[in-house]
Amino acid sequence: MFDLLWLVPAIPFAGALLLATLGSRMPRKAVAAVGVCTIAASAIVSILIAVAFLAAPPPGGAYTQVLWTWIDVGSFNPRIAFYLDALSLVMMVVVTFVSFLIHLYSAEFMEGDEGYSRFFAYMNLFVASMVTLLLADNLLLLYLGWEGVGLCSYLLIGFWYQDPVNGRAARKAFIVTRAGDTAMAIGLFLIYHSLGTLGIQDLMQRAIAQWGVGSSYAIAAAALLLGGAVGKSAQLPLQTWLPDAMAGPTPTSALIHAATMVTAGVYLIARTHVLFELAPPVQLAVAIVGAATLLLAGCSALTQWDIKRVLAYSTISQIGYMFLALGVGAWSAAIFHFMTHAFFKALLFLSAGIIIEALHHEHNIFHMGGLRRQLPVAFWTFLAGGCALAGLPLITAGYYSKDLILWHAWNSPAGSVVLWAAGVVGVVLTSLYTFRVIFLVFFGDVRTPVSKRPGLPIRIPVWILAILSIIGGYAGPPLLTFLKTALPAALESRAGALTETGSSAVTALAFLTGFGLAWLFFLSKPARATAVAANPVGSVLHRFWFADWGFDWLYDHLFVQPVLWIARVNRGDFVDAFYTGLSRLIEWTWRILRLTENGQLRWYAAGIAVGSVVFVAIVSFL
């Protein structure tokens, strides 16, 4: 069964290839069939492999499939090989399954679009790259998938290429993530240089043997990998690309946010967890980045009027939770949250897509309202997803995973009260902005009439995801046990002032606080919200948060403008000025000497005379 592992990335890749080459000549039905079926096949194969894995785990809890040697130079010989253990298995199953649902949804959602086959080609390639990333046995192959998802996000964000705004957002996404990738590439050089391998398992073993805890190599390597991870996962300070990435079609956003791309950073850190354990300062940095990001993004989400931008900031914030978990050594909790997040975030985007389609591409939540009765499908599914996102206690999946993270943030030796408190405040914020959207969109008066109702291929995936967003939390305990074969268990240290139940209660309380605030401000009396936003402090904060804490402005002035300026000024190439100057000099000399050739006999005679006198003088005096 495990022999089929290579099919999981290969089938979507083949689909992408087929659609890219022949897609424009295929009928739409065939395009959809290829696009959806390849991912379905891939999901089925991965589920079969998962079943086989659970039934009879391979020796050592991991299976490696070597396809061929990729590059073979001296001692540098990375392979094209796939590595399957509990971690990559869970990720692979979730990614392929959620992607399949999103593809199914897209088959109807994108039906009227001109670039139907192009869309599915990119989407398939996206999934293929992501699976390659997950299954890679060495960091170089992981880097291939890593760059591949970056590329596909670029292609899909800029899918409607005719609008320059989309092009700008796509370019921004690619360049910002690639800035992170640059750090990661340098990290790969460092790792290969000092450990002599890029094989993930080998390098972790050698790192333990050679580096020791807190060695500067380990710190540098982990910090550089973290650079790549914050780029892809849209964490501080490279989070700016993700809100703009909403320019792409909605299923793309779902794919980027739920299944592929942004979770790659989380996976990378979990995959190379040994390096981070060897570098405690960097692991602390991971936790701080996560905590800071979840707060910052939570605040920004409060101020957005574009429904997709709210969701984008919520993704940044939720990935922040995963980083927090990774930072305190709760590796499995991060993966658990990844799984529940994949369900409810895909769901939220897909139902947001239903709303946007139904309202003539209206993104502004203040123009929506009263959709509870108009679009019940969207309402119930969005509510399910929203509750999971906000962490409705005991019922939803999001609550369990988030609660687990908060408990570890408190309890782990690497955790602290500050991190825990940040997480709790994050829960308040999450619940506040989530219900702000729900109240504004589904309650109140109808502001825009509904024009289009979703068909079956759209309804099936959202219902499945809604169910998973609710029950997914109960999969927690077995999942965590299963992941123990690949990831070390979180350490426990200071029970002290707070018990696990106590922490859960605080989380539940935080949720209720957020919910209550949302009810106060956006449902019972919307005027209150306007009043808060109108007072001086409120309006400054509102503008500041709306503009993502000024990061875009800062980067624009710090990096973008200088590069553009240099490029513009130097368009003509300074170096060429030297050679042009040289040729000018020769030209001027020629112009001056040319004056003597004036065609006047007397002038020439004088020249001869003077020349002879000078010559005779030189000869006789030297």
Partner 1 sequence: MELIRYGFLLAGILFALGLLGVLVRRNIVFTLMSLEVMLNAAGLAFIVAGARWGQADGQVVFLFILAMAAAEVSVGLALLVRLYHEYKSLDTDGASRMKG
Partner 2 sequence: MILFWLIVIPLVAGILAWVAGHHRPLAARWIALIAVSLDFALTLSLWARNFHGGWHTWFEQLDWAWIPSFGIHFHLAIDGLSLLLLLLTFFLGILSVLASWTEITEATGFFHLNLLWILAGIAGVFLAVDLFLFYFAWELMLVPMYFLIAIWGHENRTYAAIKFFIFTQLSGLLMLLAILALYFLHHAATGIYTFEYEQLLNTPLAPGVAMWIMLGFFVAFAVKLPVVLLHTWLPDAHTEAPTAGSVILAGLLLKTGAYGMLRFVLPLFPDSAHRFAPIAMALGVAGILYGAILAFGQTDLKRLVAYTSVSHLGFVLAGIFAWNDLALQGAVMTMICHGISTGALFILVGALQQRTHTREMERMGGLWTVVPRMSGAALFFALASLGLPGLGDFVGEFLVLLGLYRVNILLAILATLGVLAATFYALRLVQRAFHGPETHGWQIADLVPREGLVMAVMILALLWLGLYPKPVLDTFQPVMARLEQPLPGR
Q: Which chain residues interact with partner 1 by CB under 8 A?
A: 594-602, 605-606, 609
Cβ proximity to partner 1, 559 vs 603, nearer residue: 603
Chosen from partner 1, partner 2, none, partner binding at 553 (C-beta under 5 to 8 Å by type):
none
**Residue 162 interaction partner, one of partner 2, partner 1, none, beta carbon < 5-8 Å per kind:** partner 2
Which does residue 497 touch among partner 1, partner 2, none (CB within 5 to 8 A, set by kind)? none
Q: Give whichever of 192 and 442 is closer to partner 2, judged by the CB atom.
A: 192
Binding mask 163-192 for partner 2 (x = CB under 8 A): xx--x---x--xx--xx-xx--xx-xxx-x
Q: How far is the CB of 567 from partner 1 (least distance, A)?
A: 43
Return the percent helix, strand and coil in the chain, to nearest 5.
80, 5, 20
- Nearer CB in complex with partner 2: 264/346: 264
- Tell me the site size for partner 2, rule CB under 8 A: 49
Minimum distance of partner 2 from residue 231's CB (angstroms): 11
Exposed / middle / buried, residue 588 (Cβ in 10 Å: 0-12, 13-18, 19+):
exposed
Nearer to partner 2 (CB atom), residue 25 or residue 602: 25
Report, in Å, the least distance between residue 79 CB and partner 2: 11
Helix (H, G, I), strand (E, B) or coil at 82: strand
Please enumerate in sequence order all residues whose Cβ is within 8 A of that of 366, keeping only pairs 6 or more positions apart, or say none: 305, 440, 447
Tokens of 539: 């309006």
50 three-class SS: helix
Structure tokens that stand for 501 in this block: 């139940």
573 binds partner 2 (CB under 8 A): yes
At 79 the three-state DSSP class reads strand
Amino acid at 550: G
**Least separation in angstroms between CB 88 and partner 2:** 19
Query: Which residue's CB is nearer to partner 1, number 161 or number 603?
Result: 603
User: Is 590 an interacting residue with respect to partner 2 (CB under 8 A)?
Assistant: no
Q: Which of 48, 540, 566, 609 binds partner 2 (CB under 8 A)?
A: 566
575 binds partner 2 (CB under 8 A): yes
579 binds, among partner 1, partner 2, none (CB under 5 to 8 A by kind): partner 2
CA distance 478 to 347: 23
Q: What is the 8-class DSSP label of residue 337?
A: H
DSSP 614: H
Nearest to 109 by CA among 248, 305, 307, 309: 248
Residue 66 or 605: the one with the smaller Cβ distance to partner 1 is 605
Task: Tell me: does residue 492 bind partner 2 (CB under 8 A).
Answer: no
Q: Which of 68, 527, 590, 595 binds partner 2 (CB under 8 A)?
A: 68
Residues 95-154 that bind partner 2 (CB under 8 A): 140, 143-144, 146-148, 151, 154
The smaller minimum CB distance to partner 2, of residues 361 and 568, is found at 568
* Residue range at the interface with partner 2 (CB under 8 A); choices 343-351, 357-365, 413-421, 567-575: 567-575
Closest contact distance (angstroms) between CB of 357 and partner 2 is 24
* Element of type H or E holding 576: helix 574-594
Q: Which residues of 263-283 are buried (b: 16+ CB within 10 A; e: fewer)?
A: bbbbbbbbbbbbbbbbbbebb
The least distance separating partner 2 from the CB of residue 510, rounded to whole angstroms, comes to: 40
Question: What is the DSSP annotation of 396-462?
Answer: SHHHHHHHHHHHHHHHSTT--HHHHHHHHHHHHHHHHHHHHHHHHHHSS---S-------HHHHHHH
Between 446 and 610, whose beta carbon lies closer to partner 1? 610
Closest CA to 438 of 496, 490, 389: 389
* Choice between 22 and 609, CB closer to partner 1: 609
d(CA 336, CA 408): 13
Picked from partner 1, partner 2, none, the partner binding residue 74 (CB below 5 to 8 A depending on kind) is: partner 2
- Let me know the angle formed at the C-alpha of 382 by 381 and 383, rounded to the nearest 5 degrees: 90
Question: With binding defined as CB under 8 A, does residue 395 bind partner 2?
Answer: no
Residue 158 makes contact with partner 2 by CB under 8 A: yes
Q: Which tokens is 100 given?
A: 């399949």
In this structure, the number of other CB atoms found within 10 A of the CB of residue 163 comes to: 11
Q: Which residues of 109-146 are buried (b: 16+ CB within 10 A; e: fewer)?
A: bbeeeebbbbbbbbbbbbbbbbbbbbbbbbbbbbbbbb
Q: Based on the shown chain and the rule CB under 8 A, indicate whether residue 589 belongs to the binding site for partner 2.
A: no
3-state secondary structure 522-553: HHHCHHHHHHHHHCHHHHHHHHHHHCHHHHHH
Q: Which residue in 1, 7, 14, 20 binds partner 2 (CB under 8 A)? A: 20
- The binding site for partner 2 (CB under 8 A) comprises 20, 24, 68-74, 76, 80, 140, 143-144, 146-148, 151, 154, 158, 161-164, 167, 171, 174-175, 178-179, 181-182, 185-186, 188-190, 192-193, 563, 566-568, 570-571, 573, 575-576, 579
